Amino acid sequence: MTDLVSPRIAGLQPSPTIAVGKAAQELRRQGVDVVDFGPGEPDFDTPWPVRTEAIRALEEGETHYAPSRGIPALRTAITGKLARENGLHYEPDEILVTPGAKQAVLEAVFATTMPGDEVILFDPSWGSYDAIARLAGAVPVHVPLRADFTIDPERVRAALTPRSRLMIVGTPNNPSGHVLTARELDILAGVAEERNLVLISDEIYERIAYPGVRVVSPASLPALRGRTVTINGFSKAYAMTGWRLGYAAAPLPLVEAMLKVHEHSVTTATTFVQLAGIEALNGSQEPIHAMVEEFTRRRGLIVEGLQALPGVSIVPPQGTFYAFPDVSGTGLTGTELAHHLLQAGVAVTPGAGFGEGWDTHIRLSFATSEERIREGLKRMAGVLQGETAGTI
Ligand SMILES: Cc1ncc(COP(=O)(O)O)c(C=O)c1O
């Protein structure tokens, strides 16, 4: 039967985070208490005013197709948000509303590449960028970041070929939590201009940035404005992962090209969800501030706890709710350590899921309570002390 499946699809790897989630769920089913550092979503609920707006929209019969680009009032709210918070000035027609940021990444990749074109990814990177490039028939080219997760211009230049077409960055980055610096933005601008590349900037974690950190949208640089697709969404900032709502902002020709992919695949984002999205953007932002304050406390706890573990070191995340420590000092790979930790009731994602060469690391999501973080760290200490005593 497998000969019925396209080799393009058969070769795709399943999401590493979903695989960890399944393993944790299976253990839980057997009655094991698992501290789950796997999830890629906030452990908060969507704020009530947003939910109420969706209920109102349903009650009023907002159940028909919306305009394919997105409801005009939502696109206007998005242009307001981008101007206010990111210094990005777009017309509503330069906005495309999508069912999730992931769909926006897919539409941007399909809209800008031909089969065989090369897509530059900076590792460690979110696994879906690689998979989406492959779905489009493009070729992912993985450029390793430095140990501090910054871009090495020499490595980028070495990866460029006449087929290079697109670069994808995330700021803040999943899994490292790194936020692009002014120097890195200049490197990206220089390379993109020189080689006429498109840049996709995935800013889905932009609102989850820690005190003193400023997330700069690449498109705010004049050199990048005309060649960047800025992608953001509601999943992480407003704890709306299950609603499926995201968007892209880009120059009109790019949006028009993405719209073709959009109209022939998803048609539009869900109508009542879009109406609730207007409330999320224009209503009180207090729930985001409260959530980020909570993540700030947890980040302090997990960074300190990880640093105290034998063989573990960490560059503290500047954004996101992920910690991505280097565990090579334990003598184990990320995959081996994740396996041992799972036996001790702690689920983490091996770094291998974020790029070849990164199995020196593991990813821990701290979208879980302080109490569970403490318990997880205690169990990790138990495993690693066993490791130094040679009992694993
Ligand atoms: C880097 C990155 N981009 C995009 C997404 C997907 O966002 P959405 O739920 O809006 O599709 C995720 C979700 O985990 C992510 O980690």
End-to-end CA, the chain: 41
By three-state DSSP, how is residue 174 classified? Answer: coil
Residue-wise pLDDT tens digits, 309-366: 999 999 999 999 999 999 999 999 999 999 999 999 999 999 999 999 999 999 999 9
Q: Are residues 134 and 263 in the same domain?
A: yes
Q: Are residues 191 and 92 in the same domain?
A: yes
Q: Are residues 153 and 205 in the same domain?
A: yes
Task: Give the span between the Cα atoms of 21 and 310, in whole angstroms.
Answer: 26
Q: Which two tokens stand for residue 217?
A: 């949208």
- What is the C-alpha radius of gyration for the chain, rounded to an integer number of angstroms? 21
Lining ligand 1 with CB less than 6 A are: 40, 100-102, 126, 170, 174, 202, 204, 233, 235, 241, 246
Q: Are residues 246 and 138 in the same domain?
A: yes
Domain that holds residue 168: 48-282
Q: Are residues 9 and 120 in the same domain?
A: no
Nearest-CA residue for atom 6 of ligand 1 = 102
pLDDT tens for the chain, 392 residues long, are 678 999 889 888 887 788 888 888 999 999 999 999 998 888 899 999 999 999 999 999 999 999 999 999 999 999 999 999 999 999 999 999 999 999 999 999 999 999 999 999 999 999 999 999 999 999 999 999 999 999 999 999 999 999 999 999 999 999 999 999 999 999 999 999 999 999 999 999 999 999 999 999 999 999 999 999 999 999 999 999 999 999 999 999 999 999 999 999 999 999 999 999 999 999 999 999 999 999 999 999 999 999 999 999 999 999 999 999 999 999 999 999 999 999 999 999 999 999 999 999 999 999 999 999 999 999 999 999 876 555 55
Full-model pTM: 0.96
Atom number, ligand 1, closest to the C-alpha of residue 233: 10
**Nearest Cα to 367, choosing from 177, 129, 232, 127?**
177
pLDDT at residue 386, rounded to an integer: 78
Q: Are residues 190 and 69 in the same domain?
A: yes
Instruction: Work out how many domains the chain is built from and give that number.
Output: 2
**Cα of 41 from ligand 1 centre, angstroms:** 9
Decide which of 248, 265, 282 is a domain's last residue.
Answer: 282
Q: Cα-flanking dihedrals φ and ψ of residue 160, to 5°?
A: -75, 140
Atom number, ligand 1, closest to the C-alpha of residue 241: 9
Pocket test for ligand 1, best of 18, 180, 236 (most atoms within 8 A of CB): 236
Q: Cα-flanking dihedrals φ and ψ of residue 184, to 5°?
A: -65, -40
Domain of residue 363, CATH code: 3.90.1150.10
**Cα of 330 from ligand 1 centre, angstroms:** 31
Decide which of 234, 252, 282 is a domain's last residue.
Answer: 282
Q: Are residues 80 and 55 in the same domain?
A: yes
- For residue 362, the cross-strand partners are 350
**Cα of 102 from ligand 1 centre, angstroms:** 5
Pocket test for ligand 1, best of 46, 107, 121, 126 (most atoms within 8 A of CB): 126
Atom number, ligand 1, closest to the C-alpha of residue 17: 14
Task: Compute the CA torsion angle 87, 88, 91, 94 (nearest 10 deg).
Answer: -160
For the chain, give percent helix, strand, coil, nearest 5.
45, 15, 40
Task: Give the span between the Cα atoms of 224 and 187, in whole angstroms.
Answer: 11
Decide which of 282, 302, 330 is a domain's last residue.
Answer: 282
pLDDT at residue 388, rounded to an integer: 52
Q: Are residues 57 and 13 in the same domain?
A: no
DSSP assignment string, 284-347:
--HHHHHHHHHHHHHHHHHHHHHHTSTT-B----SBSSEE--B-GGGTS-HHHHHHHHHHTTEE
Q: Are residues 201 and 264 in the same domain?
A: yes
Task: Give the span between the Cα atoms of 321 and 175, in whole angstroms.
Answer: 9
Q: Are residues 291 and 275 in the same domain?
A: no
Atom number, ligand 1, closest to the C-alpha of residue 174: 1
Q: Are residues 155 and 300 in the same domain?
A: no
pLDDT at residue 387, rounded to an integer: 62
Q: Are residues 15 and 90 in the same domain?
A: no
Domain of residue 100, CATH code: 3.40.640.10
Nearest-CA residue for atom 13 of ligand 1 = 40
Q: Which two tokens stand for residue 282?
A: 């224009």
